[in-house]
Structure 1
Amino acid sequence: MRRFYGIAAGTGGVQRRRSLSGLYVPLTSSAIVKRVLSILLLLLPHFLMARQEPVWISFKKEPVFVRNPTFSLLKIRDERSFKAQLGTIISGPKSSIAVRSNDEIASTFDDLLSPGFSPDSTRVPIIIRIQELIFFEKEKKALQADGTCRLELAFDVMRDGKPVQLTTYTARTIYTRSFGQTDRLELVARKALESAAQYLSNWIKINRDKSPALVKGLKFVYIDHSIQQASGDTVFYHPLRPLSWDDFQAAPRIGSRNAASIFPTFSYEGHSRWVNGFIEVQLTFKTFMVKSMSWVRPGHKDDYGLLHEQKHFDIVKLIVERFKQRIIADPDMDFEEYNSRVQFLYLEAYRDMNRWQEQYDGETQHGINRAEQERWNRKITQDLKNAEDLTAIMLSNRQ
């Protein structure tokens, strides 16, 4: 059994303390004084810093601008735990002082960013969340300090009434300053904010068509490339510009028993841009015939034969309208693969065009069967009108 021995505290101003061996040894009054003094010396810097007035940062009312901004400022939220504190800096040899801002940081950042990031249909409305803004320094030499400004921001976009995070930004800006050069702190913080704004603007530019959080959906805009005057070797489809025999400029094909032949076809071009959260895809459709691949035999340039060839041209226009409708109604169309999806639908429409042309020539016997020719004339005219009307309705319903 371990035993402990001790002398009761009493006379002589002697107190007892336990030693490592289990015995109580005396602690003299002078030792107590020394211990208290050592504790006071350790706490003195903290007392001095607490009594010192903090350094107040006052941000200049000069807006922050970046190159080609892609976002607008919707709101700024300060999520820091200690909103009044901005860290500490070196105020002198072996002494520190607190840093604070004259204004609320969220309000200050709003003033700095709002002028350069105003609402625009091509800009993404962004919520900025301030997660950290803090200075910390270490003493250098010759009355100088090495410092770091740490800025952490999170960027959100609203989706279905809720904020969705896009990305985050963390920067550590390193600087050196003289002890009395506190105005440098404002410049460092401003540069950190400017770098964050430029980072986000670049990030949106790269990810605008890729990030699900940024894209609400697809919108298609259709343009028909149609001019009434022939352009070189090409005649573009126009309802007010019917074909003429002058458009058939190739030599008659040897071995063919047809009186005439037309080479009609179609193509499309597209480009996209970001508008109010949607990827707006502008598609330009070209329905045309090639003069150097279309021909007519001498002695067969009558109105009946020209109408037969015109209906070949009208069939292509009909297929283009149905191609437009397929794009709008396609259930597999999405913003990530819309380009390849439109290309797939184009190939499907191209095959449909060839089938229609073959069926038309087969049933009319290349125009020889006048009864069938008349039936196809009415059918193509009515189908084309219905298709154009339906395309307009579908586009209107998608707006």
Structure 2
Amino acid sequence: MKSLSFSIFFLAISVLGFSQEEQEKIQWQQERLLTWEDFKAEPGNSNSYSANTNSGISYSWNYSTASGVPVLLHEVFTNFYPNLSWVKEIKNEEYLLAHEQLHFDISELHARKLRKALQDYEIGRNIRQDLKRLYNRIESERVSMQNKFDKETSHSENRSEELKWRKFVAEELEKLEEYSN
């Protein structure tokens, strides 16, 4: 019986230089919303914002040819990193927390897109490069959407845009519900 197995792990966050194993993390769950107690990092003096959410997506995969047909198995995670996320002043407490939650939800939206893409992927000769390209594309889209969200809402200051974004993200998550964890 011939079996070929590879595992690979990618983590996308905005801060580099730390071991993922050592980082406390909270996995996204629909019924578990963020609380201010989850924000454990100290904000720097140069930060002009009231809060910052550090979240990202990661995945692992392997495949086997033991059955004669290549089978791809994968897991995708959406993580929030408490020790890299901070809050310094809380004005409009629930409103600001909902803004930070939406950043986490945007990461989950892209995790679902990655799950769908991995499920639809047909194993080829360059699986490692293919999956890396796929992940990099979706991660780039995630970062772009996070930036667009902050720009269009003026980092939560524009309430009408904030409400549009809440509706949009909720609808997109619903469309990809079958790819939730």
SS state of the match for residue 65, structure 2? strand
- Aligned residue type for 2:88: R
Whose strand fraction is larger, Structure 1's or Structure 2's? Answer: 1
- 1-structure distance, mates of 2:163, 2:90: 22
| Structure number, greater radius of gyration | 1
Cross-structure match for 1:360: 149
- CA offsets 1:56-107 (integer angstroms, 9 cap, x no match): xxxxxxxxxxxxxx2xxxxxxxxxxxxxxxxxxxxxxxxxxxxxxxxxxxxx
Q: Map 1:10-49 to 2 at 5 A.
A: none
- CA offsets 1:201-256 (integer angstroms, 9 cap, x no match): xxxx2xx65xxxxxxxxxxxxxxxxxxxxx96111111121111111011112222
Cross-structure match for 1:338: 127
- 2-structure distance, mates of 1:273, 1:382: 36
- CA distance 1:304–1:379, shift in 2 (3 Å): same
- 2-structure distance, mates of 1:275, 1:242: 41
Q: Does 1:349 align with 2:138?
A: yes
SS state of the match for residue 304, structure 1? helix
In the superposition, the TM-score normalised over structure 1's length comes to: 0.39
- CA offsets 1:328-380 (integer angstroms, 9 cap, x no match): 445xx434222221111111111111100001001111111111111110110
- Aligned residue type for 2:79: F
Q: Which runs of 4+ in 1 moved over 4 A?
A: none
State which of 285, 295, 301 in structure 1 corresponds to 2:76: 285
Cross-structure match for 1:310: 101
- 1-structure distance, mates of 2:171, 2:23: 31
- CA distance 1:329–1:265, shift in 2 (3 Å): same
State which of 49, 64, 69 in structure 2 corresponds to 1:273: 64
Q: Map 1:173-212 to 2 at 5 A.
A: 205=2
How far the C-alpha of 1:290 sits from its partner, in A, is 0.9
Cross-structure match for 2:11: none
- 1-structure distance, mates of 2:88, 2:111: 29
Whose helix fraction is larger, Structure 1's or Structure 2's? Answer: 2
Structure 2 unmatched runs, 5+:
5-21
SS state of the match for residue 278, structure 1? coil
- 2-structure distance, mates of 1:320, 1:234: 16
Preserved CA contact (<8 Å) 2:57 2:76: yes
Q: Map 1:92-131 to 2 at 5 A.
A: none
Q: Map 1:204-283 to 2 at 5 A.
A: 205=2, 233-274=24-65, 276-283=67-74
- 2-structure distance, mates of 1:355, 1:286: 19
Preserved CA contact (<8 Å) 1:316 1:353: yes
State which of 318, 323, 331 in structure 1 corresponds to 2:114: 323
Preserved CA contact (<8 Å) 2:76 2:114: no
- The percent identity for this pair of structures is 24
- 1-structure distance, mates of 2:34, 2:90: 18
Structure 1 unmatched runs, 5+:
1-69, 71-204, 210-230, 393-399
In the superposition, the TM-score normalised over structure 2's length comes to: 0.82
- CA distance 1:385–1:312, shift in 2 (3 Å): same
- 2-structure distance, mates of 1:236, 1:325: 19
Preserved CA contact (<8 Å) 1:279 1:335: no
Q: How large is the RMSD of aligned CA atoms in angstroms?
A: 2.1
Q: Does 1:379 align with 2:168?
A: yes
- 2-structure distance, mates of 1:282, 1:345: 15
Preserved CA contact (<8 Å) 2:23 2:81: no
- 1-structure distance, mates of 2:33, 2:67: 40
- CA offsets 1:276-312 (integer angstroms, 9 cap, x no match): 3322221111110111110001344711111100000
How far the C-alpha of 1:326 sits from its partner, in A, is 2.5
- 2-structure distance, mates of 1:385, 1:338: 29
Greater RCO, CA 8 A, separation 6+? 2
- 1-structure distance, mates of 2:89, 2:144: 29
- Aligned residue type for 2:163: E
- Aligned residue type for 1:279: P
- CA distance 1:299–1:358, shift in 2 (3 Å): closer
- CA offsets 1:164-210 (integer angstroms, 9 cap, x no match): xxxxxxxxxxxxxxxxxxxxxxxxxxxxxxxxxxxxxxxxx2xx65x
